[in-house]
Amino acid sequence: MFYTGLLLDYFKNYLKTRLTYRSDFWIEVISDLLFQGMNLFFILVVFLHTDLMGGWTRDQIIFMYGYFMVPSGIFYCFFNLWNFAERYLVKGEMDRVLTRPAHNLLQLMLENLDPASLFGSLTGFLIMMYAAVNMDLGMSWSDPLIFLLLVAGSIMVYAGVYIALTSISFYSDAPTGIMPLVYNIQSYGRYPIKIYNKAIQILLTFILPFGFVGFYPAAYFLDRANWGLYALLTPVVGVVFLGIALLLWNNGVHRYRGAGS
């Protein structure tokens, strides 16, 4: 109840702050949706020149892309830690965070909420439904529950990777610059994993497992016989990577000695 109350309070503060400048808020939402629309347009252009991509049809690829957007939008809403090193370590705001009773990572998440990103999740879900209707994709009674489980696993994979990368700031005296590189790699997860060479497949499955934020879980609904087992590993991979990330984070917090003078 304590953290639920905090979440509601921070959400109210976000609305008061952002809706003071309503035009800026809606411009941000629209620009983000246009960016996602350009990625979808790229997929459509590719299929003007071919009928299949790695053995998958246009509607199947669109379904994968729609799924990829759902956990992505939720992740960006709650794990908006891109400027952590500059704001909290260099400028010393981490000292303030550590003097408060709530867990430090949860405080950072709440302070940097970005609910506008949830529009991307809604758009992704609508894209999935559009593709599913085009394919006449049959659904069983358990599929909505499995969908929620897979989305939760995908969010944990996202969180695990980026919390681990963010925690590197506690161990390094200078920014590593690795976050933009990983951000670009994550987009590979929205396409069939077999279109990449073996090295990329290993990277997206075991090292930076972005295959589990897009392709693998989406493939559960498209080709369950061949990819169902991989898809159901999504929550397991998420728990493992998130657990490792939290260990790195907590150890980094213990190493932190303040911003100094």
Q: What is the model's pLDDT at position 60?
A: 96
**What is the token pair recorded at 258?**
């303040």
Distance from the first to the final alpha carbon of the chain: 38
Count: domains in the chain: 1
Model confidence at 236: pLDDT above 80: yes
Beta-carbon count within 10 A of 228 CB: 15
pLDDT band at 215 (very low <50, low <70, confident <90, very high): very high
Mean pLDDT value of segment 18-37: 80
Question: Measuring CA to CA, which residue among 152, 153, 108 is closest to residue 252?
Answer: 108
Q: What is the model's pLDDT at position 260?
A: 61
Q: What is the model's pLDDT at position 83?
A: 85
Residue 34 lies in a domain: yes
CA angle 199, 236, 66 (to 5 degrees): 70
CA 96 – CA 74 distance, rounded (Å): 27
Mean pLDDT value of segment 167-189: 82
Mean pLDDT value of segment 68-74: 95
Structural domain of 248: 2-255
Average pLDDT value for the chain:
89
Residue 78 lies in a domain: yes
CA 85 – CA 63 distance, rounded (Å): 36
Beta-carbon count within 10 A of 167 CB: 22
Q: What is the model's pLDDT at position 176?
A: 60
Residue 205 lies in a domain: yes
Q: What is the model's pLDDT at position 174?
A: 58
Residue 105 lies in a domain: yes
CA 160 – CA 179 distance, rounded (Å): 13
Mean pLDDT value of segment 177-194: 88
Most confident of 78-92, 163-177, 230-244: 230-244
Residue 216 lies in a domain: yes
Q: Which parts of 90-161 are beta strand (E)?
A: none
Residue 260 lies in a domain: no
Q: What is the model's pLDDT at position 203?
A: 95
Model confidence at 186: pLDDT above 80: yes
**Residue labelled with tokens 């794990």:** 79
Residue 261 lies in a domain: no
pTM for this entry: 0.91
Of residues 119 and 157, the one with the higher pLDDT is: 157
CA 223 – CA 194 distance, rounded (Å): 14
CA 190 – CA 136 distance, rounded (Å): 21
- Each residue of 45-63: pLDDT tens digit? 888 888 888 899 999 999 9
Residue 196 lies in a domain: yes
Query: 26: exposed, middle or buried (C-beta count within 10 Å: 0-12, 13-18, 19+)?
Result: middle
Model confidence at 261: pLDDT above 60: no
Model confidence at 16: pLDDT above 60: yes
Model confidence at 195: pLDDT above 90: yes
**What is the token pair recorded at 100?**
């408060």
